[in-house]
Amino acid sequence: MAKKISSRPISLSTQPESVTLIDVAKVAGVAPMTVSRALNRPELVRSDTQKKVLDAVRATGYVPNMLAGGLASSKSRLVAILLPTIANSIFAETVQALVDKLTEAGYQTLLGLTAYSTAREEALVEAILGRRPDGIVLAGTSHTKATVERLTKARIPVVEIWDLTNKPIDTVIGFSHEEVGKQVARHLLDKGYRRFGIVSVDDPRGLRRGKSLIAELRKQGIADTAFKILPAPATLQVGREGAALLFDEARPEVIVCSSDTLAQGVLAEAASRKLSVPRDVAVMGFGDLSTAAHVYPSLSTVRVDGTTIGMKAADALLSRFGASPSSMDMPARIDTGFSIIDRESA
């Protein structure tokens, strides 16, 4: 009778063979395909069949194998996220929002950490594309040529975040770091400051903000701006050290920091030197949101809404996942902007 001897040996070992669609189908008394449908497209299955299947799933403890499903359907329900770092990171909120939204939509998230290295990013991209993700999110817009090529060839939605560019790989959601530097310069000049100091970690976007700030100051006739670049990650301690260097050398009227964490370190150093903020020295941070705002009345900051970036990135991906391949060619360029929050005048 048996058309084919079961290839699965009757297991005598304690290792419970993993339950497959076929096992569920047997228990439910339907074809494997029907189980698949009941699970993935229930609207195509009569409700009593549906029930039989679900009962069988519970009875067997079946967990669908997404490797097999993904291989067969070329849909992995996987989104990769690549960022420089997660420790003490300005990206934390973005990741949180992104992961939350994607999880809710039934996608899982692969996390890769590049440590601000485009070479490492390239290696990660290659490895990750091996998983055939349905989409990928990258922090920043600066990548190696090979990375861009691979990403383009992969023909999946690519979202670059936390920066802006005129030549995105696909979709880009962020703001201009040059514009941040420029606006911060103008804002502080308007308030009458003339001697500036900058504390930044060695992060490409932070450096660009700093350079743009200096460029704008130059335009306005201010030539010498002390620019302290310290190794990442941006910790309170690093902020303190940077501030110490500036206080010892340049005695700036205002210190601009590449992140709020650094700014808090600067505040700590100022306090330890009995310097009053902002009277003796003003401090400007970057990043904000749940950290510094409302808490340090003397701290100004550039506020960036990381949560919005994460949510928009998720939206961008999800809308493309549903869409037809042709509409794949309609990427977006979203400027989420930033705002300068001035605690002194609040």
Rule CB under 8 A: which residues touch a copy of itself?
A: 15-16, 61, 63-68, 70-71, 76, 78, 81, 85-89, 92-93, 95-96, 99-100, 103, 108-113, 124, 126-132, 150, 153, 155, 233, 235-237, 240, 264-265, 268, 272, 290-297
Q: What is the rounded CA–CA span in Å between residue 84 and residue 162? A: 12
Tell me which residues in 42-61 interact with DNA (CB under 7 A).
44-46, 48-49
Does 128 sit near DNA (CB under 7 A)? no
Question: Distance between alpha carbon 166 and the CA centroid of its chain, in Å?
Answer: 20
* Binding-site member from 21, 78, 277, 317 for DNA (CB under 7 A): 21
* Binding-site member from 26, 69, 149, 215 for DNA (CB under 7 A): 69
Does 103 sit near DNA (CB under 7 A)? no
In the complex with a copy of itself, the residue whose CB is nearer, 125 or 214, is 125
Min dist CB 31 to DNA, Å, is: 3
Min dist CB 89 to a copy of itself, Å, is: 7
Does 18 sit near DNA (CB under 7 A)? yes
Token pair for 84: 């420089």
- Residue 154 burial (CB count, 10 A): 16
Does 337 sit near DNA (CB under 7 A)? no
Does 64 sit near DNA (CB under 7 A)? yes
Does 37 sit near DNA (CB under 7 A)? yes
CA distances from 86 to 12, 94, 116, 143, 146 (A): 46, 11, 11, 19, 25
100 binds, among a copy of itself, DNA, none (CB under 5 to 8 A by kind): a copy of itself
265 binds, among DNA, a copy of itself, none (CB under 5 to 8 A by kind): a copy of itself
In the complex with DNA, the residue whose CB is nearer, 20 or 259, is 20
What one-character DSSP code corresponds to residue 18? Answer: P
Q: What is the rounded CA–CA span in Å between residue 235 and residue 201? A: 9
Helical H segments across 194-275, by residue range: 204-219, 236-249, 260-272
The answer to whether 203 and 230 have CB atoms below 8 angstroms apart is no
The answer to whether 295 and 247 have CB atoms below 8 angstroms apart is no
In sequence order, the 6+-apart residues with CB closer than 8 A to the CB of 91 are 83, 84, 85, 139, 162, 306
Min dist CB 220 to a copy of itself, Å, is: 34
Beta sheet of 299-303, edge-to-edge order: 226-230, 196-201, 254-257, 282-287, 299-303, 339-341
**Residues making contact with DNA (CB under 7 A):** 7-8, 18, 20-22, 30-34, 36-37, 39-40, 44-46, 48-49, 62, 64-65, 68-69, 71-75
